[in-house]
Amino acid sequence: MEVETSHGGQNMQPLLKVEKVVKAYYPKSAAGPREKLLALDGVSFAIAQGGTLAVVGESGSGKSTLGSCISCLEIPTSGSIWFEGRDLVALREGERRRVRPRIQLIFQDPSNSLNPRWSVEEILLEPLILQGRLKREELKHRAVALMAEVGLSAELFQRWPAQLSGGQRQRLAIARALALEPKLLILDEALSALDCSVQAQIANLLIELQRTLGMTYLFITHDLAMAAHLADEIVVMNRGRVVEQGPAEKVLRHPKEEITRHLLAAMPSLNRAVRPPLEL
Amino acid sequence: MVPILEVQDLHVSYSLPGGASYAALAGVSFQLGAAEILGVLGESGSGKSTLAASLLKLLPSNGNISKGSVLFESKDLLCASAGELQQIRGKRISLVYQEPSVALHPALRASEQVFQVLAAHESVGKSTLRKKTRQLLASLFLKEADRISNSYPHQLSGGQRQRVLIAQAIACRPSLLIADEPTAMLDPTTQREILGVFRTLRDELGLAMIFITHNPALLAGFADRVLVLYGGRVAELGPGRTVLSSPRHPYTRALFQSMPQILETTDNQRKTKLPVIAGDSSATPLPLEGCVFEPRCPDRMEDCRKREPVLVNLGESHTVSCFKYGG
């Protein structure tokens, strides 16, 4: 399959290029031998530096497995993941460890991805200490700067995650990810668990960070409306395969595949006066 | 319309450590007709889950219903005895929760979980109950009903688990179903499927429903009436079509504007800032005086800080609590 670069900057070298990635699992089955399940079946696409690519599809289409493979939480069965000119699949563990901080993940539910027994301060200092670049007295300064960057008041420094609102927790998760100066943020349903009004606030923060830091996003979502708003390019997945990809507006306005049309029809929307009838 | 549920001036507060208390609901009133779907829209902290819990007196131990009445089929549930409530919960009024993976017992087969609900409320023989269970599950799962009945929750998909919960909820033919964010964990295709199930139940069994959600788009084409809750108060209440297409309360309007609209996004609008409601309702305390939405309101006026607006009738049973309309 021809690999297109992201719409945002056609002339730029892609920051991330995924080539024919396959991930097979062998889940237990009730009867008989384990069967092979292809969570990813030859997935290819590329994202330009500073661009946003949205991956959409139903539950079980392989979206999250893709995020895990790119962030090196899982190693693909075959294929290549080129990031900053190196193939993450072929790297040795030691080298992979050095690349990992540059790709950060933001999860759906910040209450599960933040340690409940750590204060905001501890959560933000941990990556900075592990990074080992700053002197002790500089650490706190940097943590406060990170909070400002994501719109969190420094007053929250001593709070626990449980004392924060959902929006504040997701801002904290983003600040923690930014601590390691990543190039790529993988947003795995990062807005889905938030209230609509908070979703808009976090979406604006992501847009702002892309402008100021040149951040690149892989936005995994089932919210096509948010994908349409944030992404330059859209990849539609079904059963581990890419069924359609292209510039966001083109894919959503003139979908070629049945799956894409199906996803569009299922999207809840306020301004759809006549919706197709609900069926049992 | 003879309402089957009539909530009047409901006040609920939670006592906090240190003797303070927090008012979660402050004067909520509404009616629900038979076979009517009422969508309750609100963000975290708006009191929407407190509302669901207080209708059945299922509040946590620090929750206190200080005022109001909940008339269900002409009986005040707030005055009902524990025994009477036990007869109503799960039988006449049932609840469907957000997370089917938590609400279902992980070590019991789907059919057993539905069977137990029937066994708790109906005094007929086991074989009759088994037969009823089978019929129920067959009506919700047109395909593979047998396989699903014999499966444990972890062997089912999110949508299938939600259907099992619905089977439990309708097992005793209740007249009212309260669903608290029942589709929040599902993808849009499955969400739509589950909404379809609810609609069919309403059409076929005449089930009335309170459908609680934070996503207004889910209510479009689904809810007959929409109640918008903000800070424990009714901001707006009216016919679904009217409220969703031409909202009047500044909160409802700002909320709808902050949502990206899929086919209206052009290349020029892409990656532009969405209009947001300033502030964070769950991180800042509500004002003690005046309108609760005043600190975040784009249309605030002089009066808004001084006193609380009352509900104004805009006609067609559409009411709004805002001084812009007289309040």
- Closest approach of B308 to chain A, Cα-based (Å): 23
Exposure string (b/e) for A244-258, b if CB count within 10 Å is 16 or more? bbbbbbbbbeebeee
- Closest approach of A138 to chain B, Cα-based (Å): 29
Q: What ipTM score was computed for the predicted complex, to two decimals?
A: 0.88
Q: Among residues of chain A, what percentage have pLDDT more than 90?
A: 75
Contact B276 A164 (CB under 8 A): no
Phi, psi of B63 (to 5 degrees): -90, 145
Reply yes or no on whether the pLDDT at B229 is more than 50. yes
CB nearest B44 (choices: A166, A222, A267): A166
Q: Which among B222, B311, B216, B173 has a CA at the least distance from the CA of B36?
A: B222
Exposure string (b/e) for A101-140, b if CB count within 10 Å is 16 or more? bebbbbbbbbeebbeeeebbbebbbebbeeeeeeeeeebe
pLDDT of residue B201: 92
Contact B270 A271 (CB under 8 A): no
Instruction: Please give the residue that has the higher pLDDT: either A75 or A33.
Output: A75
**Closest chain B residue by Cα to residue A153:** B283
Strands (E), chain A: 14-25, 37-48, 52-56, 78-83, 86-87, 103-106, 184-188, 216-221, 233-238, 241-247
Contact B158 A59 (CB under 8 A): yes
Can you read off the two tokens belonging to residue B149?
Answer: 């009945």
Is B279 an 8 Å CB contact of chain A? no
pLDDT of residue B138: 93
Can you read off the two tokens belonging to residue B52?
Answer: 């669901």
Distance between start and end Cα atoms, chain B: 26
pLDDT of residue A280: 40
Neighboring chain A residues of B195 at a CB cutoff of 8 Å: 278
pTM: 0.90
Could you give all domains of chain B from N- to C-terminal order, each with its CATH number? 3-92+172-260+272-325 (3.40.50.300)
- Closest approach of B134 to chain A, Cα-based (Å): 18
Q: If contacts are CB pairs under 8 Å, which of residues 285-324 in chain B contact chain A?
A: none
Average per-residue pLDDT for chain B: 91
Which pLDDT tens digit goes with each residue over B262-296?
766 677 788 889 999 988 777 778 888 899 999 99
- Closest approach of B119 to chain A, Cα-based (Å): 27
Contact A200 B276 (CB under 8 A): yes
Can you read off the two tokens belonging to residue A56?
Answer: 């959409």
- Closest approach of A98 to chain B, Cα-based (Å): 31
Which pLDDT tens digit goes with each residue over B35-62?
999 999 999 889 999 999 999 999 999 9
Domain A7-266 class in CATH: alpha beta
Best of A196, A202, A207, A237 to disrupt the B interface (most B CBs within 10 Å) is: A196
Q: For residue A31, what pLDDT band results from cuts at 50, 70 and 90?
A: low
Contact B262 A278 (CB under 8 A): no
Chain A to chain B Cβ contacts (< 8 Å): 150
Contact B222 A204 (CB under 8 A): no
Instruction: State how far Cα A252 lies from the chain centre.
Output: 20
Q: Three-state SS for A203?
A: helix
Crossing angle for the helix pair B158-170 and B110-121, to the nearest 10 degrees: 20
Q: DSSP string covering B153-210, please? A: GGGS-HHHHHHHHHHHHHTT--SEEEEESTTTTS-HHHHHHHHHHHHHHHHHH--EEE
Pairwise CA distance, residues A67 & A63, whole Å: 7
Least confident among A132-136, A270-274, B99-103: A270-274
Q: For residue A4, what pLDDT band results from cuts at 50, 70 and 90?
A: very low
Do the Cβ atoms of A51 and A233 come closer than 8 Å?
Answer: yes
Residue ranges per domain, chain A?
7-266
pLDDT of residue A2: 45
Contact B43 A273 (CB under 8 A): no
Q: Which among A96, A3, A74 has a CA at the least distance from the CA of A45?
A: A3
pLDDT of residue B271: 87
- Using CA atoms of A174, A176, A177, A179 in order, give the dihedral in degrees to the nearest 10: 120
Contact A200 B259 (CB under 8 A): yes
Pairwise CA distance, residues B147 & A160, whole Å: 45
- Closest approach of A11 to chain B, Cα-based (Å): 19
Contact A269 B199 (CB under 8 A): no
Q: What is the mean pLDDT of residues A83-93?
A: 93
pLDDT of residue B98: 79
Q: Among residues of chain B, what percentage have pLDDT more than 70?
A: 98
Least confident among A7-21, B81-95, B108-122: A7-21
